[in-house]
Amino acid sequence: MQQQMAATVEEQMMVKAIREELPWENLPKRIQAALVSKDDWNRRIVNYCIRKRLPWTSSYARKVCKEGEYYEDLMRYLRKNLALYPYHLADYICRVMRISPFKYYCDILFEAMKNEQPYDSIPNFSAADALRITGVGRNEFIDIMNKCRSKIMWKLSKSIAKELLPALPVDQATEPWWTVRFVNFTLEEFKKLSEDETSAIDKISKEEVNSYVLFDPNVIDGLYKRGMVYFDVPVYPEDRFRVSRLEGFVSNKDQSYEDPIEELLYAVFVVSSENATVAELAKTLQADLYQLQAAASFACRLGWAVKLMDTESILRDSNSSTIPSNILTNDDEGSHMSINSEKSGHELLNNDSDGPRTISGASYVGFIVDANVTSYLMMGSLSPGLKSHAVTLYEAGKLGDSCIVDLCNDLASLEGKRFEGVLQEFANHAFSLRCFLECLLSGGIAPDETIEANNQECSIQENFTKTSSKENIDEGIGSVDTSEIDHYDELSQAVQPMVNSDAADQYSSSPSSIVSECKKSTDNNDSYNSKTSQLNGSTNINPLSKTKRSYRVNILRCESLASLSPSTLERLLLRDYDIMVSMIPLPYSSILLPSTTGLVHFGPPSYSSMTPWMKLALYTSSSCGPVSAVFMKGQRLRLLPEPLASCEKALIWSWDHSVVGGLGGKFEGNLVKGCLLLHYLNSMTKHSAVIVQPLSTNDLDETGNLVTVDIPLPLKNIDGSIVSTIASIGLPEEQILNLSSLLYNLSSKIELGTVGYLSLVRLHRISKSNEIISKNGNYEWIPLSLEFGIPLFNPKLCERICERVVESCMLQKDDISEHYEAMQNVRKRLRELCAEYQATGPTARLFNQRGNSKNSPRQLINIVSGRWSPFHDTLTPNQGGSPREHDRLKVATRQKCFTEVLSFDGSILRSYALAPVYEAATRTVHEDQPTTPVAKPEPDDADTKDVVLPGVNLIFDGAELHPFDIGACLQARQPISLIAEASSSSLAMK
């Protein structure tokens, strides 16, 4: 291990020495000792420059080898690895060596065929570029190989394959701004040129500007196919690009060789923005500007990126642009070179990244999805037109705003189709995606609504037509173009429900009708809303923006964001986005937004919110929820403690989404039978902590299932009322119960103004006198879970969330940053809860060890031994062992003390009041204390991908969270406190 570490250090020292161009004589003795000779050092220099694709003229290789030898070794290395053609080195490779891209790709195709390698062995970008130039793709490659194998001479002569390859490059799209260069051709070749071709060559050699648009395309294309000219795609530091769809991408394997340009391409796709220059992209990625220019140039060649330019830029002199020496310096101006970028210059410099960001004008939204969405869109049986979007999103990691309208149109092709089985799940995601995208593009308001200011209006179509600068978008507020409105109306009217005849009642309304139905629902309830507003003390002050805020949307794949370094991700978010929205459920391995960016995020505020910690935070904050027992990882039970022992069924979740026997990975929890609960618990606690919620017979419906309802968020309308929210749920009048009062109570204690949904469960109610009330309608709704983000898996719920966004006008508020502060409070609450009950928290330390000092109080012995004060023995043991139907609710009806521990000794569930010294140590974090808005987020050490597991067993009794002693229920395991005491006693005896 030490030798490997030393070798790694030596390799790093060699790289540093090569970059500093140290000669052999000046190398440190440690490096010289690791090398055989000076020739070995020279070979390492050349190999390093080749791996980095450095030009000979500006690399250290120029001092140790000749130019021709260097490029011959480079091409030999590239052919061996079937690598990408080095277009940035074409001035020598194509002009001097006469190795054109067409000749090169024919060679690597022949190399693969000769060795009988499969087509998938050719790396992604090499295969895509070879397809563009030679026209040989997967099908053509297989066809040639089949023809070769059918010939008798194939085993003796592999040259048969070369004869079947194309003789000339295929026609390709050439942009007007590409420059034309000629090669060093021979005298015989020159004599064969026609008069027009000679004139073109003469013009290329004399003129400084050689853009393709200045020549006869037929003449240049003819010269290109004969290898007499080649195209250069100039990219300058101040250029801007827009990534389009990856048409022609070949999904083979990733490269196994080192290619910094190819590796940069994936990062460029994710971080690219038409508002950022190439120099700013280099600053964001902390990448070499020269290599980034080469990567952007290649993307333009394949049509995957579109250069945004002025008319004059076509005639720019490609030789007059030089790379500023300070382009990658740490100066503040270095990262804000473009004066045309809205987020560059003093605006970004003055941005307080530790607090909420101000949003004005056109807002930029990043919608985060996972790779599953790309696989859903990839299904050809849904819509072939979606495949290119899916490939772009998967490979590039991003769909730019220029593609969103096309995506919505392609999703509209699913209208009226019938799906069965798993395809219906794919179609559900497609329906939800389209619904939410159109909600964002409309700015979260009805198409017929207008927000006036000085008789000016802002067109929705602004989201699609502006090209390069946010500043231009902000200046585009003016008179409305009727053709644009008509276009948007057509887009909205095209949206129809994606249902079959059997599911018509489930998806009864279409996304296009969301805003109109919302408006009608709001109008019908105006009188009720005004009364409710007066009761809530709301005012008539309109918090909406005076001008209609437009939104431009990018779809981002969370796995691609996770591949970026945290610093790069933060720079990307600060530069390009105002609001981020996440789908749910996100994979736990995905990246969440750093709180320091100050971005408004409609999604999980932290990793802890994606675990059962969020349930405990919801229950303790609202002092309401189902009885829940939390069991630590690593325990094995011999019997179930009350109130789980006699439950009919139970809901169960694993803490880290790990799946054991099909249990634990389900987003909404698994409903299991009470008779099997002990087995399930013992299986799951081997791998993760577990939370269990016991249910009695009366809690279930006639089919033995739970009755739940999802409340779409944001909860309140712009006037503070919730009547339309309740109406949108569609519950029968007899099932409304305490729904209204519960929602008002929850909204006063927790953040329900975000995008997401609140799950409620209907449970049977018991009177405070512990007498069972008749079952006829005596139920109540209590919170089950709170999720932040967009549930693409549920089209109906997603549609209702979009309705709530419209009715609340949350996207048109002047101060949307209030949501940022509310989410910081949620993060703080989760952080405190994790800190209190994790393994290193005060409660876990208190209950997992006994006092070692002779002066320590011995009250905690009662927790282990079961010697309880009779005053608190309010829960009696089972009588005759008969199952009790309502043990779950008995926990909440006992006499409570301020701070207590619940303990089960095998027959009796008792509560124990802690002495003051322990009361202070275990005081829960949900006590009523005045809270202040969080202006700046605190450092969140717990906000990592590492799952924070509970370090002590817990039970929520319906109102409060308490430690739960189940030592008597454990199998073949002594309490940690006894083990610690026995260990200390044995040491004392020695």
- Residue 120: other Cβ atoms inside 10 A: 15
**CATH code for the domain defined by 607-766+776-837:** 3.30.470
| Amino acid 100: pLDDT | 94
| 3-state SS class at 232 | strand
Residue 140, pLDDT > 90, answer yes
Q: Which of 436-450, 696-710, 869-883 has the highest mean pLDDT?
A: 696-710
pLDDT at 496 over 50: no
Name the burial class of residue 891, with classes exposed (0-12), middle (13-18) and buried (19+) by CB atoms within 10 angstroms of its CB: buried
Tell me, what's the pLDDT at 989? Answer: 43
For residue 62, the model assigns a pLDDT of 92
Pair of tokens at residue 441: 């593009």
* pLDDT at site 937: 41
Tell me if 894 sits within 8 A of 874, measured CB to CB. yes
Share of the chain above pLDDT 70, in %: 70
At 916, is the secondary structure helix, strand, or coil?
helix
pLDDT at 480 over 70: no
* Residue 690 confidence class, pLDDT cut points 50, 70, 90: very high
Q: Is 188 exposed, middle or buried (0-12, 13-18, 19+ CB in 10 A)?
A: exposed
Is the N-terminal amide bond of 28 cis, ω within 30° of 0?
A: no
Q: Which of 487, 489, 500, 492 is nearest to 414 (CA)?
A: 500
Q: pLDDT tier at 250 (50, 70, 90 boundaries)?
A: confident
Mean pLDDT score across all residues of the chain = 74
The pair of three-digit structure tokens given for residue 743, joined into one six-digit string: 């929602």
pLDDT band at 918 (very low <50, low <70, confident <90, very high): low
What pLDDT is attached to residue 380? Answer: 54
Give mean pLDDT, residues 285-294: 90
What ranges do the domains of the chain cover?
Answer: 364-371+389-446+549-602, 607-766+776-837
Q: Report yes or no: 352 and 562 within 8 Å, Cβ to Cβ.
A: no
Inform me whether the pLDDT recorded for 872 exceeds 70: no
pLDDT of 414: 77
pLDDT of residue 335: 33
pLDDT of residue 766: 63
Overall average pLDDT of the 235-260 stretch:
84
Q: pLDDT band for position 891 (50/70/90)?
A: low
Burial 154-176 (b: 16+ CB within 10 A, else e): beeebebbeebbeeebeeeebbe
**pLDDT tens-digit map of 75-99:** 999 999 999 999 999 999 999 999 9
Over residues 297-314, the pLDDT tens digits come to 999 999 998 888 654 444
- pLDDT at residue 3 tops 80: no
Q: Token digits for 767?
A: 């009177």
Assess whether pLDDT exceeds 50 at residue 488: no
Q: Which residues pair with 553 in a beta bridge?
A: 365
Query: pLDDT tens digits for 359-373?
Result: 556 788 999 998 888
The 8 Å CB, 24+ separation contacts for 894-901 are 894/957, 896/957, 896/959, 896/960, 897/872, 899/923, 899/924, 900/872, 900/962, 901/847, 901/863, 901/962, 901/963, 901/964, 901/965
State the pLDDT confidence band at 647, using cuts at 50, 70 and 90: confident
In this predicted model, which residue has the larger pLDDT, 937 or 954? 954
Say yes or no to pLDDT of 973 above 50.
yes
List helix spans (H) across 314-369: 346-349
Greater model confidence, 775 or 293: 293
Higher pLDDT, 809 or 119: 119
- Alpha-carbon torsion, ordered 938, 604, 632, 922, to 10 deg: 40
Q: Above 90 in pLDDT, residue 257?
A: no
- pLDDT at position 205 over 80: yes
Instruction: Give the list of residues 6+ apart from residue 122 with CB closer than 8 angstroms, or none.
Output: 82, 108, 109, 112, 130, 250, 252
Cis geometry, peptide bond prior to residue 643 (ω within 30 degrees of 0): yes
Q: CA–CA separation, 473 vs 466, rounded Å? A: 6
Question: Is the model more confident about 453 or about 274?
Answer: 274
Question: What letter does residue 970 receive in the DSSP assignment?
Answer: B
- Cα Rg of the chain (Å, integer): 34
Task: Report residue 758's pLDDT band, with 50, 70 and 90 as the boundaries.
Answer: very high
Q: How far apart are CA 301 and CA 132, in angstroms?
A: 9
The per-residue pLDDT for 482 is 37
Q: Report how far apart the first and last C-alpha atoms of the chain are (Å, whole number).
A: 38
Task: Tell me the pLDDT tens digit for each residue of 384-413.
Answer: 678 888 888 888 888 888 888 888 888 887
What's the pLDDT score for residue 132?
A: 93
| More confident site: 872 or 373 | 373
Q: Which helix (DSSP H) or strand (DSSP E) does residue 819 occupy?
A: helix 818-837
**Beta strand pairing call for 790-791 and 579-584:** parallel
pLDDT at 85: 94
Cβ atoms 899, 919 nearer than 8 A: yes
790-811, pLDDT tens digit by residue?
A: 998 888 999 999 988 888 888 8
- State pLDDT tens for residues 304-356: 988 886 544 444 444 444 333 333 333 333 333 332 333 433 333 334 445 55
CA triple 635-827-619, angle to 5 deg: 60
629 phi and psi angles, rounded to 5 deg:
-115, 135
| pLDDT recorded at residue 317 | 44
Q: What is the pTM of this model?
A: 0.76
Highest mean pLDDT among 476-480, 765-769, 868-872: 765-769
Q: Exposed, middle or buried by CB within 10 Å (0-12, 13-18, 19+), for 503?
A: middle
pLDDT band at 979 (very low <50, low <70, confident <90, very high): very low
